[in-house]
Amino acid sequence: MKPNVKPDAHHPTPEELFAYRDGELSADQRTLIEAHVLACAKCRELINRVSGLESDLRMLPDPVGEEYYERMTESVLARVAAPGGSAETAPLAAERTPHVDRRRPDAAAAGGDERRRLRLPWIGIAGTGAAAVAVALVAVVLLHRPEEWVRAPRPVAVKESGKKAKSRAAEREAALAKNRARGRAQVPAAAGAADESGAPARKDQRAATKEKKVAEAKPSEAGASNETPSPSAQAPSPGAADAMGDRAAPVEGNAKMRAATREAVPQALGSIQTAEPPSSDRAPGEAYARVLRDHGLPVVWDDGVPPDALLRAEPDLRLVYQTHRAGADSARIRLYLAEAERARLSTPADPASIEHIANHYRRAISLARGDAALAAVARRRLADLLLSRPPTSQEPSTP
């Protein structure tokens, strides 16, 4: 299937869609794209498809076993302890860790289990509920900033100045001409047969991109002389929800629209709740299970969890997460952390705290990978949280 969203000005670009899916957009951008994705089956399908492919890539069983890792650890420690030993002087091949057991014990159990395929949270949402939420969100966005919805704004990181854009356009034209002269497209010949709709324009564009990349200095080669990034540089956080900046204030609708949305959305949320798929029955990992046991908590947060138990468990849950022992329970822990922080919210809550909690939910949704029930709960709670935001000072108060 060929993703066919870019040529239509009413759809976000693939870059925007994937950045949304990866949790890399600012709050403003995320709101716009989310409103569109909820209402657009085509964009949902593209995101869902790519998510499924990446889930399949992650499913490749670990080709080495525990014994390999144990030996490797010892080998590394011996190398770093060796006086004068270095990456350059130590003969790597001679020290190569023997290749052992090829399959993890749980690999067989994991294989073939369709439930573990990554499904985006909205896949389980009933059409009626999703449509109602979408209509409400789109209405808020359209009425509040109609000038911006003609086309979703390109993320800040890919904005170009007019001069730079012209230069790039010229570069692209040159690359296109070069590519046509060569009479080849970027992808292998078989692509032509598989590609019926809009193929020429798309292919040229892709070829141009590739040509441009060839012209660029190979960035990874430029950094190849030193593979150790600066230890003191600003920390990149894995999966940080807002690497591209949550600096922009969240989109705020006016009070009237907010009131209208509040009327429309609860019905939709009701549909979402009834449409929640069955909960994942995967057993929790050891560290997470211990915290659950100690505090008498269910595997996945639900409305029946007492706030005081939640707050008591919060430090332990946080420790499991921060010490990298969360593993496959990461999404469950992020949901618990969101609820714990929510239980501590003051009234009225400040927008920064709400956004912080919203990021926990968003991360839980993206980490849910196949646990549609958990994703649905996180999604419902996120919608509920965002709708409960107090109006900003610019908004007229509700009469």
Partner 1 sequence: MAQARPDRSTLSDGELVRLIQDGESDAFAELVRRTQRGGYRLARRITRNHDDADDVLQESYVKAYRALDRFAPDRPFGPWFLTIVARTALTWIRNAKRRAAEPLDEPGKDGSGPLAERVADPAHDPAAVERRARVERAYARLSEDHRAILALRVEGDLSYAAIAEALSIPVGTVMSRLARARESLVEILGELREAESR
Whole-number Cα distances in Å, 238 to 23, 363, 371 = 11, 11, 21
**By CB under 8 A, how many residues form the interface with partner 1?**
94
Owner of token pair 């469950």: 332
Q: How far is the CB of 151 from partner 1 (least distance, A)?
A: 17
Q: Does 370 bind partner 1 (CB under 8 A)?
A: no
For residue 226, give both structure tokens: 């030193």
* Residues 345-368 as b or e (16 or more Cβ within 10 Å = b): eeeebebeebbebbbbbbbbbbbb
Per-residue mark of binding to partner 1, 291-320 (x: CB under 8 A) = ----------------------------x-
Minimum distance from residue 264 beta carbon to partner 1 (Å): 33
Half-sphere exposure at residue 385, Cβ-oriented, CA atoms within 13 angstroms: 28
**Binding flags for partner 1, 185-214, as an x/- string (CB under 8 A):** --xx-xx-xxx----------x--xx--x-
Pair of tokens at residue 30 = 């995320």
d(CA 352, CA 349): 8
Q: Pick from 7, 10, 41, 108 the residue near partner 1 by CB under 8 A.
A: 108
* Binding string, residues 61-100; x marks residues near partner 1 by CB under 8 A: xxxx----xx-xxxxxx-xxx---xxx--x-xx-xxx-x-
**Binding residues for partner 1 restricted to 3-42, rule: CB under 8 A:** 3, 13-15, 18-19, 22, 24
Say which DSSP state 120 is in: -
- Using CB under 8 A as the binding rule, the residues of this chain from 131 to 170 that contact partner 1 are 155, 157-158
Residue numbers 324-343 binding partner 1 by CB under 8 A: 324-325
One-character DSSP codes across 91-146: -TGGGPPPP---S-TTHHHHTT-GGGS---GGGGS-HHHHHHHHHHHHHHHHHH-H
* Pick 228 or 394: Cβ nearer partner 1: 228
Q: Given candidates 83, 150, 235, 304, which one binds partner 1 under the rule CB under 8 A?
A: 235
Which amino acid belongs to residue 160?
Answer: E
Give least dist CB 105 to partner 1, A: 12
